[in-house]
Amino acid sequence: MSTIAPPEPAIDLGSRLVRTPQPVAIVIFGATGDLTHRKLMPGLYSLAAQQLLPPEAAIVGVARSELDDEGFRERMREGVRRHGHAPVDEDVWAGFARRLHYLPGGFDDSGVYERLRALLADLDADRGTRGNRLFYLATAPEFFPVIAERLGGAGLAEETDGGERFARLVIEKPFGEDLRSARALNTRLGQVFRERQVYRIDHYLGKETVQNLLVLRFGNAIFEPVWNRRYVDHVQITVAEDLGVGTRGGYYDQSGALRDIVQNHMLQVLSIVAMEPPARFESREVRDEKVKVLRAIPCFDDGSVAGDAVRGQYGAGWIAGEPVPGYRDEPGVDPASNTETFVAMRLAIDNWRWSGTPFYLRTGKRLPRRATEVAIQFKPAPHLPFTSTAVEAVQPNLLTLRIQPDEGASLRFLAKVPGPQIDLRVVSMDFAYGSSFLRPSPEAYERLLLDALLGDSTLFARWDEVERAWEIIDPLIAAWATTPGPFPNYEAGTWGPAAAEELIAREGREWRRL
């Protein structure tokens, strides 16, 4: 799989200066949508305020709404004001706004792409964008192949092999809805864009704490020797949300937790937790190691569908002292919906490092609290030389990596309770981002936008990773689609259906109480 290293900056930047992208025209399809408003435009504005957008950058919004440049700028300013993490600076905004342009039109209208080509040529001449393009598809997924093909038809997907001129395509999830549709989508994109041009965003990979997983594992010598089947009893990965589907009922009802969270975010996090050390923190090396992990996970089959996966759907209940409706009563949701809002599963990784160490994944909506974490549960000490009363409450070591909220890590270990007797108690050694670095982490989208502009695809999902993730869960999707679930089977505000407890209890383990 070919990659082109991003060009090195001309000047030694040292530890203070940050590498900035080459001049570029950023084209956002779906420019009046929620994602652009909430994430993309505040992220781009923040990059500009930090001097991280190249001076020659221009931004073109494409959407169906009839707007002119000024109208678009006003809307985007509102997005930055409401969703940016710092107040709008008039000076910065004035310069930033001048870079914003708008092109109205339907995504399947080839005339739009002719006008886009002419506008980009003007920007190359007037702003010095040098023929570099970054196309961001912030649209509904059915438009992905259409837009890509139209861009190809207009000659906008071409780039030079030497990297003098680039054309990159950034795609939001969902990348397909199952293995077949993902392959079909990839084939259509591949007819226009080469793999190295495609940046599949998984915003979890833009989170500081997920990247910190790599630093924790491969920047410290003490963890890696025990990061394997000999010392780790099992791993739990939890993505718990207390919210329901909100206004996304229509989308979510077609998707469900398996496609929305497990296939992408959770398998990406799992692959980082379980991967072998890459030789270098570079795109190809990191993604090669991640995909090896995914290939070592057996795909679901009839036996594991029945025994190693549990689905759930919430009924009415209580969250934070407030009554909340059941899933089937949410706006936009089919009253007889068979969509899962909860998934728990046991995955094996059949390689030397992890053979026999299960990975338990659990995600759901309307769980008691919002928490995303990875818990590495170590095996108990082989022998405790203390009296039985002292060891009653002994629990094995646990390393918890909190992704959100309250980002950080903690290590649980045993300590002696002060006093004349040898009494043992579990204590925790805690690292919290909030008390070690008193500056907020950058928004995941901001980081990923900058990486895409720089041509660094390390934190984006490569096609073989996406394909393998679909291969793993595809049989589960098929099985659940054809059999009605016992829904609703958990009350909002609880930790999911009883079957999830049974799944992990079968091997003498239990889910962490978060």
Partner 1 sequence: MTTAAPPGRWEGAGVTLDEVLARLADLRCPPDGGPPYNRTGVLTLLAHATGAGEAAALDGVIHDLADHQPSRSVLVVEEDAGRGIDAAVSLACRDAEGGQSVAMELVRLTLRGPARAGLASAVVPLLRVDLPTVLWWPRAPEDGHPALEALAGLADRMVTEAGRCARPADGLRALAPLAARGRPAATDLAWAAITPWRQLLAQMIDPPALAALRSASSVAAVAHPEGPATAEALLLAGWLRDVIGAGLMVELHGRPVDDTPLLAVELEGFAAGRRLIVERLPGRSSAAVVVVEPGGASRRRVLPLPRPARAHLIAGELELQRRDRPFERALPHAVALAGGAGA
**Could you list the active site residues?**
265
Nearest-angstrom CA–CA distance, 45 and 99: 11
Q: What kind and span of H or E run contains 389?
A: none
Q: Which of 103, 112, 104, 268 is nearest to 175 (CA)?
A: 268
Residue 91 near partner 1 by CB under 8 A: yes
CB 315 → partner 1: shortest distance, Å?
Answer: 30
CB 12 → partner 1: shortest distance, Å?
Answer: 6
Residue 17 near partner 1 by CB under 8 A: yes
CA dihedral 27, 30, 35, 41 (to 10 degrees): 40
Instruction: Tell me whether residue 304 or residue 441 sits nearer to partner 1 (CB atom).
Output: 441
Q: Which of 265, 260, 348 is nearest to 301 (CA)?
A: 348
Nearest-angstrom CA–CA distance, 73 and 99: 9
Residue 441 near partner 1 by CB under 8 A: yes
Binding segment (CB under 8 A) for partner 1, from list 33-41, 428-436, 443-451, 501-509: 428-436
- Percentages helix, strand, coil for the chain (3-state, rounded to 5) are 40, 20, 40
Instruction: Tell me whether residue 164 or residue 507 sits nearer to partner 1 (CB atom).
Output: 164
Nearest-angstrom CA–CA distance, 29 and 438: 36
Whether residue 396 has a cis bond before it, omega within 30° of 0: no
Handedness of CA 55, 56, 57, 62 (dihedral sign): positive
Residue 128 near partner 1 by CB under 8 A: yes
Both tokens of 250, joined, read 């229509």
Query: Which stretches does DSSP call E strand in 90-208?
Result: 100-104, 133-137, 167-171, 198-200
Place of tokens 């204590």: 427
CA dihedral 185, 300, 460, 141 (to 10 degrees): 30
Nearest-angstrom CA–CA distance, 488 and 341: 10
Residue 436 near partner 1 by CB under 8 A: yes
CB 16 → partner 1: shortest distance, Å?
Answer: 5
CB 126 → partner 1: shortest distance, Å?
Answer: 8
Residue 432 near partner 1 by CB under 8 A: yes
Residue 15 near partner 1 by CB under 8 A: yes
Contact indicator for 348, 298 with CB cutoff of 8 Å: yes
Nearest-angstrom CA–CA distance, 477 and 164: 43
Residue 7 near partner 1 by CB under 8 A: yes
Cα distances (angstroms) measured from residue 178 to each of 100, 184, 286, 467, 494: 36, 10, 25, 9, 29
CB 251 → partner 1: shortest distance, Å?
Answer: 29
Residue 434 near partner 1 by CB under 8 A: yes
Residue 149 near partner 1 by CB under 8 A: no
Q: Which of 1, 5, 34, 51 binds partner 1 (CB under 8 A)?
A: 51
Residue 206 near partner 1 by CB under 8 A: no
CB 422 → partner 1: shortest distance, Å?
Answer: 24
Residues 97-126 that bind partner 1 (CB under 8 A): 98
Residue 176 near partner 1 by CB under 8 A: no
Residue 162 near partner 1 by CB under 8 A: no
Binding segment (CB under 8 A) for partner 1, from list 45-53, 68-76, 275-283, 381-389: 45-53
Instruction: Tell me whether residue 89 or residue 507 sits nearer to partner 1 (CB atom).
Output: 89
Residues 222-261 that bind partner 1 (CB under 8 A): none
Residue 400 near partner 1 by CB under 8 A: no
Nearest-angstrom CA–CA distance, 64 and 280: 44
Residue 437 near partner 1 by CB under 8 A: yes
User: What are the residues whose beta carbons fall under 8 Å from the beta carbon of 222, sequence distance 6 or more?
Assistant: none
Q: Which of 111, 323, 332, 405 binds partner 1 (CB under 8 A)?
A: 405
CB 77 → partner 1: shortest distance, Å?
Answer: 16
Binding segment (CB under 8 A) for partner 1, from list 269-277, 282-290, 405-413, 419-427: 405-413
Q: Which of 48, 123, 257, 333 binds partner 1 (CB under 8 A)?
A: 48
| Binding stretches for partner 1 (CB under 8 A) | 7-18, 20, 22, 48-51, 54-55, 89, 91-92, 94-95, 98, 128, 405-408, 432-441
